[in-house]
Amino acid sequence: MITAMKKVLLLTLSSDRDLSLEKLRELGVMEVVSENIADSSDRAALLLRLTALDRALGTLSARKVKGACDNTALPEDNAELADFTLKCFAESEALARELDLLRKERAELEPWGEYDPREIAELKSKNIFVYLCESNVEQFAAIKEALPEAALTILSEIQGIIRFIVVADSAVTGVTLPEVTPGDRRLSAVDKDINANLERQAALEKQFDLLTTRLSDLKIYRNIIASDAELLSVRDGAEDCGELTALQGFVPVTCVEKLQAAAQDNAWALSLTDPEPGETVPVLLEPPKWVKPILPLFQFLGIAPGYEEFDMSPGMLIFFSIFFSMIINDAGYAAVMLLGAIIAAVALRKNPKAAMPCRLALVLSFCATAWGVCNGAYFGTETSWLQMKFFASGANQTAHLQLVCFVLALVHLSLGHCWRLVNASSALEVIGQLGWIPILLLDFMVVLGLLVFPGMALPTWALIAGGVGLAMVLIGGVDWRDVGAICNFPFDLIGSFTDTLSYVRLFAVGMSGTYMAQSFNGMGMQLWEASPWLIPVAILVIVFGHLLNVALAFMSVLVHGVRLNTLEFSNHAGIRWGGQAFKPLKNFER
């Protein structure tokens, strides 16, 4: 269920503002809403540090360290460790920029070889004039003809550009030479700087390897300063009312007494009111204990129902588990997932943050295993062991699997309209929502005649049910005062049919995974039978094929399994997923 919220107005002395915010953070029950956040130097500096640390953590997380590293030389304190990390990354970025400039300088000097500009100036003092020039072929020929007594030496000719040296015993006059100035240093000096730069970068790479071993400590410190940045953001967004500071936000009704007790202890003035209709209110989901494993999926997708909508987490857990099972469609894969989920649950039993994800993995893998056993599929092979006759191989297997998909569509979408009755405001709205159920039943029968049992005559009772449903929707489900609603109604009817039809994706994706597994098994067995020497290759092909198949299945779950709940079903249930999760001001939890 969605926990009811109270709107909070909290007043505290401006002199006690920072202390009050710390108390609120320790309390951890109130989300503070700040509309206008003023820029402050300390918050800006902290956000800048946080951004730099996030960038460093991203780079360190992508590194792979081979072998053991002695990290005893690193600072023990996490704050000092973060300072050292940021210093190393800043130096590395500076070295990279410097190296880029040095390489550009070297590229300009390289065609001229090892030369010293001071030597050219010294020769000039001895009436030996040296000019470094760069021109095209035609211009070079003209200069050579114009200076018959001068020595012209070609150093290089690349893509029609000639670099050459003009040496004369007097200053060249009457001819405009295309002189260039490559640089004011020797090539060897630039190479020395480049090598020194590379050596320092190599030393920093070793430091990064050491820092990777302390990645968990750096992440803890990162989360601490992120919490501090949030606190400063709340502080800067607080409304200053002279000697008083006002904080606005929301608190769950279950935590009101806790907040009131803290207000009494800290001498805060507190006002609690109900949110106004249409106001943006954060959403705190508190479903029954058996439904809580679905919450990590909501957090992963970053979705939440609106505050005035209803909690669909029970239905989503049930149907998402079914969709997951049908898309995986293999008891072998699911059994491996179940074993992995059990191992993870045991290994992470002391980590409270891992409890719900592990439970979700256990539920999904168990359901997928049960479906795979009933379907008789094991790593792409079919067996009759414990296989239900309904899913047995044969002429009707495809029809039966498709029938399951469309029955799910009928039940799932009908439940969406039934759940809308919870918030129905009038008897006409109830009639309109109930009217969609016989329309969906007519869609179901039409789809059966088109795909599952081609040629099946449409029963008369289905047409009558569809007509009755249409009349009910026209009476109570269409706002005849809204031209847009009237014009969209035919598209809603078409949409109900296409939504029903879209559930066939469960059959299509599941069977495609089975066929893909069978194909890799076949390729592996052909190699196996071709020669004993190819057995390792055959095993590699089979294992790679199954790993690829599992990866694609998980992607399909995210695309299709989630979509059927958050799009098709949600459209019929009237859920827009416009809610914002409740995020109270609280201390960082490890």
pLDDT tens for residues 31-42? 888 776 667 788
The pLDDT of residue 392: 64
At 245 the three-state DSSP class reads strand
501 & 476 share domain: yes
Q: With respect to residue 581, please indicate whether it lies within any of the assigned structural domains.
A: no
> Is 271 among the domain residues?
no
Q: Which among 159, 181, 203 is the end of a domain? A: 181
Candidate ranges 33-37, 292-296, 530-534; pick with highest mean pLDDT: 292-296
- Of 219, 237, 255, which marks where a domain is finished? 237
Domain boundary, last residue among 181, 206, 229: 181
Residues 76 and 176 in one domain: no
The answer to whether residues 216 and 193 belong to one domain is yes
Does 57 score more than 80 pLDDT? yes
Q: Quick check: 587 pLDDT over 60?
A: yes
Calpha distance 506→511 (Å, rounded): 8
Task: Examine residue 399 and state whether it is found in any structural domain, yes or no.
Answer: yes
Same domain, 72 and 156: no
Within-domain flag for 152: yes
Flag whether 263 is in a domain: no
Shared domain for 358 and 382, answered yes or no, is yes
Are 162 and 70 in the same domain? Answer: no
The tally of domains found in the chain comes to 3
The CA-atom distances, in angstroms, between 82 and each of 54, 57, 77, 341 are 11, 10, 9, 34
Q: What is the DSSP string of 455-503?
A: TPPPPHHHHHHHHHHHHHHHHHT--TT-HHHHHHHHHHHHHHHHHHHHT
Q: Domain containing 160: what range?
A: 116-181
Asked if residue 130 and residue 102 are part of one domain, the reply reads no
User: Residue 118 has what pLDDT?
Assistant: 81
Confidence tier at 200 by pLDDT (50, 70, 90): very high
Q: What is the pLDDT of residue 590?
A: 54
Averaged pLDDT, 448-454? 90
Task: Give the C-alpha separation, 38 to 307, whole Å.
Answer: 29
CB within 8 Å of 2: residues ≥ 6 apart: 283, 284, 285, 286, 305, 307, 309, 310, 311
Please check whether residues 174 and 187 belong to one and the same domain.
no
Residue-level pLDDT at 411:
95
Per residue in 3-38, pLDDT (tens digit) is 999 999 999 998 888 899 899 998 989 988 877 666
| Share of the chain residues as helix, strand and coil, in percent rounded to the nearest 5 | 65, 10, 25
Q: How far is CA 119 from the centre of its chain?
A: 60
In a domain, 470, yes or no: yes
Residues 455 and 518 in one domain: yes
| Pair 442, 476 in one domain | yes
**Banded model confidence at residue 174, pLDDT cuts 50, 70, 90:** confident
- Could you tell me if 8 and 249 are in contact, meaning their C-beta atoms sit under 8 angstroms apart? yes
Residue 244 falls within a domain, yes or no?
no
Verify that 186 and 176 share a domain, yes or no.
no
Structure confidence by residue, pLDDT tens digits, 351-409: 888 899 999 999 999 999 999 888 888 888 877 666 676 766 666 778 888 999 999 99
DSSP codes, 30-95: -EEE-SSPPP-HHHHHHHHHHHHHHHHHHHHHT----S----TTS-SSHHHHHHHHHHHHHHHHHH
Q: How many CB atoms lie within 10 A of CB 217?
A: 17
Q: Tokens 């410190």 sit at which residue?
A: 221
Residue 367 lies in a domain: yes
Strand partners, 163: 134, 156
Host H or E run for residue 522: helix 504-530
What is the per-residue pLDDT for 254?
A: 92
CA distance 570 to 579: 14
Q: What is the pLDDT of residue 376?
A: 83
Regarding whether 533 and 487 lie in a shared domain, the answer is yes
Is the Cβ–Cβ distance between 42 and 310 less than 8 Å?
no
Task: Provide the 3-class DSSP secondary structure of residue 3.
Answer: coil
